[in-house]
Amino acid sequence: MRKANQIFQGAVDAFAEKGFDRATMDEVAERAGVAKGTLYYHFVGKEELICFLMEEGIGQLSSAVAEAVAQTDDPQGQVRAAIGAMVAYSNENRKFCQLLVKCIWSNAERQEQFREILQSYFDRLTGILNHGIHRGVFQPQPMEWAPSAWFGLVTIVILRVILQGQATDQERLVDYLYTQYMYGIIGRDIKTPN
């Protein structure tokens, strides 16, 4: 198990920097500190390693979001908690988040393999929104687009932050993303009646 974990880390490192296709198995092995053959002892091949990575990572992210959301029943509080969890996760797993955003749509074939994993994450986001709509707090929305919008908004900003490389005030970032997503660019004071 030791080695398998080393490989996981090495793979995230290598893939995040070079992308799935340009990172070689040699590089993965080197960053993982194992011999190339060992990669194939633990994983069937490169594509399987990539799949494992994505499943594992998105699963973790999804769990983190679920856990955060479970703390409150208030729809707005849930959205804030979810965004908070996303930002926190991305901060602790910069490499993986880079990888996630950069490579998730890289290629039509892999697309197919990730769809299921990603769908479960989107379903979670959809659930949160539906809860708020059901409560009458959020407006009814076209649900075929809503999770993508949320995902895109949060994810691309986070990627920007990661790529910039400089330290960021997490609190402020969550605040911005939450406000933007909840109230748009027009802003809170115009419309939060509560």
Partner DNA sequence: TATGAATGAGCGTTCATTCAT
Partner DNA sequence: GATGAATGAACGCTCATTCAT
Q: Is 156 in the site for a second copy (CB under 8 A)?
A: yes
**CB of 112 vs DNA, minimal distance in Å:** 17
**With CB under 8 A as the contact rule, which of the stretches 1-9, 27-35, 36-44, 143-151 interacts with a second copy?**
143-151
CA distances from residue 164 to 91, 146, 190 in whole angstroms, order as listed:
13, 27, 32
- Residue in 5, 21, 63, 67 binding a second copy, rule: CB under 8 A: 21
Please tell me the number of Cα atoms within 13 Å of 101 on its side-chain side: 21
Phi/psi at 180 (nearest 5 deg)? -60, -45
- Residue in 39, 54, 81, 101 binding a second copy, rule: CB under 8 A: 101
**CB of 56 vs a second copy, minimal distance in Å:** 21
Long-range contacts of 163-171 (CB under 8 A, 24+ apart): 163/98, 170/87, 170/88, 170/91
Q: Determine contact, residues 59/117, Cβ cutoff 8 Å.
A: yes
75 SS3 class: helix
**CB of 111 vs DNA, minimal distance in Å:** 18
Q: Is 3 in the site for DNA (CB under 7 A)?
A: yes
Q: Give the binding site for a second copy (CB under 8 A).
A: 17-19, 21-22, 76, 79, 101-103, 105-108, 111, 129, 132, 137-139, 141-142, 144-146, 148-149, 151-157, 159-161, 163-164, 172-173, 176-177, 179-192
